[in-house]
């Protein structure tokens, strides 16, 4: 397996309920996984644990035979080779687009850095924006820069936290398709978190549904439709049952 | 243990060391209180301690009352009404803060004494010979007047910002419910601005307890003067420590009262949407009355003393050799600049630590450092000297080994003074830096780490450049405070080391008040300029 998450649990300090409860998932190389769930279901926690921004209570995290976390190891985030696209993009406001993308390319010659940066800009179709600052870009452009920045160092895995939540509806449709294309072109394994089923269906190879820190469903998008339908039927029956009869 | 080790790095070590350095000297005061007492202390306790407590109480309570009266009324006028000169007064009313109270104290004494402007005009212009006692300002009411005129801006600024920006919907709904201005004020404005009033007033009270210059010059006995007296007059540091500990007890009581008054509402409600209050125009005599009131306070707190200082400076210009004067300027800029740089650097490290650590108790650690600002300078002076003498004691073998002839090295050097400044003013710089960290959040740091930059590279490449504004304002605030500082500088400076403020104070104490004006004017000028710059930056950020 390329990425292995084994039996991972986590709870935030000063809280009782676990944010993630014995979560296990294997991911193949090049696969696009979508984690679906309501807010508070623990979906963003998985990303933060993989990235090394939080430390699991127990379990094991492995990428390409390298252990990121177990009883004895905790690899710092900068050593993990994982890229992340933040919900608000977190582009460094004091650096140009070019400098933002080159920030993660530390062990390279200057000319190589520039070359790689230009490749990335080409990939996200923003060639002319190298010298601009983040605040001079639209929301959609900022997001593409964030993706380019995360992919540039060639990470094993890229994590995307609610990648579409800050975009207006019209843009979302276009960017969903673009994103899938970019990810597939770069052949990067990726996990993205969303609360929107449509995102998951269009983008993902596999969908993981989370509920209260536990896995609720895992499968291909088409499998999910069935369970989803059944759930909806069950729910509506319940509503009908509990509804008091109103006499006029 | 596993968990901790992974987070253990040079940044954590640095932060913990700084916190300890800021906090430990104050512990020497607490332990010193419990050492066996000597005759001096017994004598003081029996005969004079009561008077210190009463004087300090009268000064703090009366000053708190009057600063609230003036600060709140001005804040309310500026926030709610439109009248002539309102825009100018809005920021100019902060200016009295640029005059250190001791400079105000001797300036007013100079204006009011027998040879001063007022009595001279009355005598020579109108032939009136009035009892000089009418003009005596060197007493308790006089000190209260001085504190009030130069410290009210603490209450004014905090309350005015709150009322202008946060209270619009509350006050507008009161108006819609048909309440007149007086009922609006007493039933709504006063209760909702309670938190900002208390915050401002406790700063005023702490400043009064910290003050040495005014009470010393006016000959009023308080804790602070007693600490110096027993230390230098009697050469009895032990008694000073006991007095300092008692004063610290006093301060702790005040901090507890503040907490109590704030009640369960530890933090006032701040809505993120800033909506300015619609101003009510005051026309005719009402408008003039409002403008006149604001102008009167501003004149008393700023224009009159500044004009007097300018006058004296012109009269005495050249009496102090330029070369000597420039040395004071250099010394002032050196100590103020260096301590501001150190404080900002330390604040960046501790602030970074504060946002990274988790856990209830470790989160409390950085809060300890802020205590210094509530501890009066005299107490810090005693604490720092005690700690440094002990430190020199430990290092004595080392000094002798490297061939020094004395074992008092650190405790007579400028390091002592810098350490004291850092302890006292750390909170000022830290507040600014902490706000900066809050504003940028943790996402940029996380992004940088995930792009392969370690904590150190992240700090210099991402955090520091993004916090430029917070760093500059922290530096300015500390710089001004050190520039104006009196008790610490006076006691802890190395031999023959004079700054603008110690020189101004010495000239004034020697009744050479005209000569004191040049150094004073420079201090006031730099501070006023910094306040104006600061205000403009703040206003820009709000837009």
Please indicate if any CB of chain A lies within 8 Å of the CB of B462.
yes
* Beta partners for residue A3, in sequence order: A27, A63
Phi-psi region of A92 (alpha: psi -120 to 50; beta: other; left: phi over 0): beta
Nearest CA to B77 out of B298, B271, B270, B258 is that of B298
Q: pTM of the prediction? A: 0.80
B74 pLDDT band, cuts 50/70/90, is: very high
Distances from the Cα of A135 to the Cα of A89, A140, B489, B539, angstroms = 12, 12, 46, 21
Task: Please provide the average confidence, as pLDDT, over all residues in chain B.
Answer: 84
Structure-block tokens of residue B357: 């650590």
Cβ within 8 Å, pair B447-A51: no
pLDDT tens, position by position, A76-129? 888 888 999 988 888 998 899 999 999 988 888 999 999 999 999 988 889 999
- Determine whether the interchain pair A92/B359 forms a contact, defined as Cβ–Cβ distance below 8 Å: no
Q: What is the pLDDT of residue A227?
A: 64
User: Residue B5: what pLDDT?
Assistant: 38
Q: Band of the pLDDT at B542, cuts 50, 70, 90?
A: low
Q: Does A76 touch chain B (CB under 8 A)?
A: yes
- B453: nearest CB among A78, A81, A83: A78
- The values of phi and psi at residue A21, to 5°, are -125, 105
The distance of A38 to chain B (nearest Cα, Å) reads 22
How many angstroms away from the CA of B453 is the closest CA of chain A? Answer: 6
Residue B476: per-residue pLDDT: 86
Candidates B450, B453, B454; nearest CB to A84: B450
State whether residue A78 sits within 8 Å of chain B by CB: yes
Does the pLDDT value for residue A248 go beyond 80? no
Which residue in A78, A81, A84, A160 has the most chain B C-beta atoms within 10 A of its own C-beta, making it the best mutation to test that interface? A78
Structure tokens given for B155: 């209450």
Which of A14, A90, A116, A147 should be substituted to probe chain B, the one whose Cβ sees the most B Cβ atoms within 10 Å?
Answer: A90
B156: its two tokens: 């004014």
Q: Looking at A136-220, list the stretches that DSSP marks H as alpha helix, in order from N- to C-terminal side.
A: 139-151, 169-186, 197-203
Q: What's the CA gap between B233 and B213, in Å, rounded?
A: 17
Confidence of residue B404 (pLDDT cuts 50, 70, 90): confident
Higher pLDDT, B147 or B172: B147
* B220-237 pLDDT per residue, tens: 998 888 888 888 888 787
Q: Which of B25, B38, B35, B40 is nearest to B389 (CA)?
A: B25
Query: Do the chains contact at A84 and B446, CB–CB below 8 Å?
Result: yes
Q: Does B3 touch chain A (CB under 8 A)?
A: yes
User: Across the interface, do A94 and B465 touch by the CB < 8 Å criterion?
Assistant: yes
Chain B contacts of A83, Cβ < 8 Å?
450-451
Q: Is the pLDDT of residue A20 over 80?
A: yes
Contacts of B382 (CB under 8 A, 6+ apart): B29, B227, B231, B237, B240, B241, B244
Indicate whether A54 pLDDT > 70: yes
Instruction: Tell me how far CA of residue B486 lies from CA of B63, B147, B516, in angstroms.
Output: 20, 15, 14
Q: How far is A231 from chain B (nearest CA, A)?
A: 36
User: Would an 8 Å CB–CB cutoff place B219 in contact with chain A?
Assistant: no
Run of H or E residues at A3: strand A3-10
Question: Over the stretch A174-186, which tens digit does the pLDDT of each residue have?
Answer: 778 788 888 888 7
pLDDT digits (tens, 9 = 90+) for B492-535: 898 889 999 999 999 988 888 888 898 999 999 988 988 888 77
Instruction: Tell me the ipTM for this assembly.
Output: 0.81
Q: What is the pLDDT of residues B280-316, one digit of tens each?
A: 888 889 999 999 999 999 999 999 999 999 999 998 8
- Encoding tokens for residue A224? 């999910």
Angle between helices B468-484 and B500-509 (to 10 degrees): 20
Q: Residue B273: is its pLDDT beyond 50? A: no
Q: What is the pLDDT of residues B200-218, one digit of tens each?
A: 888 899 889 888 999 999 9
Cross-chain residue pair A86–B461, CB shorter than 8 Å: no
Band the pLDDT of B271: cuts 50, 70, 90.
very low
Parallel/antiparallel/unpaired status of strands A66-69 and A214-219: unpaired
CA angle (B319 as vertex; B313, B322 as ends), nearest 5: 90
3-state secondary structure of A2: coil
CB contact under 8 A, A53 and B449: yes
Using the Cβ of B12 and the Cβ atoms of chain A, whether some distance falls under 8 Å is answered with no
pLDDT of the residue at B421: 93
Please, which residues 180-239 of chain A have a Cβ atom closer than 8 Å to chain B? Answer: none
pLDDT tens sequence across B100-136: 999 999 999 999 887 787 787 788 778 777 777 777 8
Residue B3: the pLDDT is 40
* Cβ atoms of residues A51 and A80 within 8 Å: yes
What Cα–Cα distance (Å) separates residue B345 from each residue in A126, B99, B177, B489?
A: 39, 28, 52, 22
- Residue A150: closest CA among chain B residues belongs to which residue? B451
- Cβ–Cβ of A80/B450 closer than 8 Å? yes
Is the CB of A108 inside 8 Å of chain B's CB atoms? no
- pLDDT category at A230 given cuts 50, 70, 90 is low
Asked if B172 reaches chain A (Cβ–Cβ under 8 Å), the answer is no
Q: How far is B342 from chain A (nearest CA, A)?
A: 25
């Amino acid at each position: 397996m390329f990425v292995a998450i084994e039996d991972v649990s986590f709870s935030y300090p000063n809280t009782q309920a676990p944010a993630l409860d014995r979560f296990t998932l294997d991911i193949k190389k090049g696969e696009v996984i979508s984690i679906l769930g309501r807010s508070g279901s623990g979906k963003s926690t998985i990303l933060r644990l993989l990235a090394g921004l939080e430390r699991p209570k127990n379990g094991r995290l492995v990428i390409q035979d390298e252990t990121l976390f177990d009883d004895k190891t905790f690899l710092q985030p900068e050593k993990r080779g994982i890229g992340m696209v933040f919900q608000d993009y977190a582009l460094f406001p004091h650096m140009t687009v070019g400098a933002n993308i080159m920030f993660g390319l530390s062990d390279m010659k200057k000319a190589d850095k520039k070359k790689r940066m230009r490749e990335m800009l080409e990939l996200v179709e923003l060639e002319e924006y190298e010298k601009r600052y983040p605040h001079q870009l639209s929301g959609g452009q900022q997001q593409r820069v964030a993706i380019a920045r995360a992919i540039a160092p060639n990470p094993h895995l890229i994590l995307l936290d609610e990648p579409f939540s800050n975009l207006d509806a019209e843009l979302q449709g276009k960017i969903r398709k673009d994103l899938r294309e970019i990810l597939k072109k770069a052949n990067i394994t990726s996990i993205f978190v969303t609360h929107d089923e449509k995102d998951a269906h269009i983008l993902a190879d596999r969908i993981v549904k989370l509920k209260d820190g536990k896995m609720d469903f895992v499968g291909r998008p088409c499998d999910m439709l069935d369970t989803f339908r059944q759930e909806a039927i069950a729910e509506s029956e319940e509503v009908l049952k509990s509804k008091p009869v109103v006499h006029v | 243990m596993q968990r901790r080790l992974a987070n253990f790095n040079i940044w954590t070590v640095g932060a913990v060391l700084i916190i300890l350095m800021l906090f430990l000297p104050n512990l020497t005061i607490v332990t010193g209180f419990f050492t066996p007492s000597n005759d001096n202390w017994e004598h003081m306790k029996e005969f004079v301690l009561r008077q210190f407590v009463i004087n300090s109480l009268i000064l703090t309570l009366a000053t708190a009352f009057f600063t609230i009266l003036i600060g709140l009324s001005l804040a309310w006028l500026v926030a709610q009404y439109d009248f002539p000169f309102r825009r100018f007064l809005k920021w100019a009313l902060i200016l009295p803060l640029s005059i250190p109270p001791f400079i105000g104290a001797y300036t007013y004494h100079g204006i009011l004494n027998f040879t001063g402007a007022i009595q001279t005009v009355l005598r020579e212009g109108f032939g009136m010979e009035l009892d000089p006692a009418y003009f005596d300002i060197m007493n308790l009411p006089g000190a209260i007047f001085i504190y009030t005129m130069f410290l009210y801006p603490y209450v004014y600024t905090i309350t005015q910002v709150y009322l202008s920006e946060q209270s619009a919907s509350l006050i507008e709904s009161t108006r819609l419910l048909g309440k007149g201005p007086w009922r609006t004020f007493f039933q709504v404005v006063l209760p909702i601005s309670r938190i900002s009033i208390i915050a401002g007033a406790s700063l005023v009270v702490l400043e009064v307890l910290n003050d040495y210059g005014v009470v010393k010059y006016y000959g009023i006995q308080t804790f602070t003067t007693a600490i110096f007296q027993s230390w230098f007059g009697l050469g009895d540091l032990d008694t000073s420590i006991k007095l300092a500990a008692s004063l610290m007890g006093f301060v702790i009581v005040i901090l507890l009262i503040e907490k109590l008054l704030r009640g369960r509402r530890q933090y006032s409600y701040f809505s993120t949407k800033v909506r300015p209050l619609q101003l009510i125009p005051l026309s005719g005599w009402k408008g003039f009355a409002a403008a006149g009131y604001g102008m009167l306070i501003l004149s008393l707190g700023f224009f009159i003393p500044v004009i007097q200082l300018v006058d004296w400076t012109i009269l005495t210009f050249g009496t102090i050799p330029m070369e000597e004067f420039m040395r004071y300027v250099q010394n002032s800029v050196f100590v103020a600049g260096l301590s501001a740089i150190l404080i900002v650097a330390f604040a960046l490290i501790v602030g970074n630590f504060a946002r990274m650590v988790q856990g209830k108790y470790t989160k409390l650690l950085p809060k300890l450092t802020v205590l210094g600002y509530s501890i009066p300078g005299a107490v810090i002076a005693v604490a720092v000297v005690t700690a440094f003498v002990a430190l020199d004691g430990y290092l004595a073998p080392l000094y002798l080994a490297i061939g020094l002839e004395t074992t008092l090295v650190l405790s007579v050097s400028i390091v002592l003074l810098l350490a004291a400044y850092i302890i006292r003013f750390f909170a000022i710089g830290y507040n600014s830096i902490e706000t900066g960290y809050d504003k940028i959040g943790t996402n940029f740091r996380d992004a940088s780490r995930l792009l392969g930059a370690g904590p150190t590279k992240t700090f210099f490449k991402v955090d520091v450049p993004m916090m430029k504004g917070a760093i500059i304002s922290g530096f300015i605030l500390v710089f001004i405070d050190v520039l104006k500082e009196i008790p610490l500088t006076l006691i802890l400076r190395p031999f023959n080391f004079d700054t603008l403020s110690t020189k101004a104070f010495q000239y004034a104490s020697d009744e050479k008040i005209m000569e004191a004006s040049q150094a004073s004017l420079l201090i006031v000028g730099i501070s006023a300029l910094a306040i104006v710059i600061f205000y403009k930056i703040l206003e820009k950020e709000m837009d």
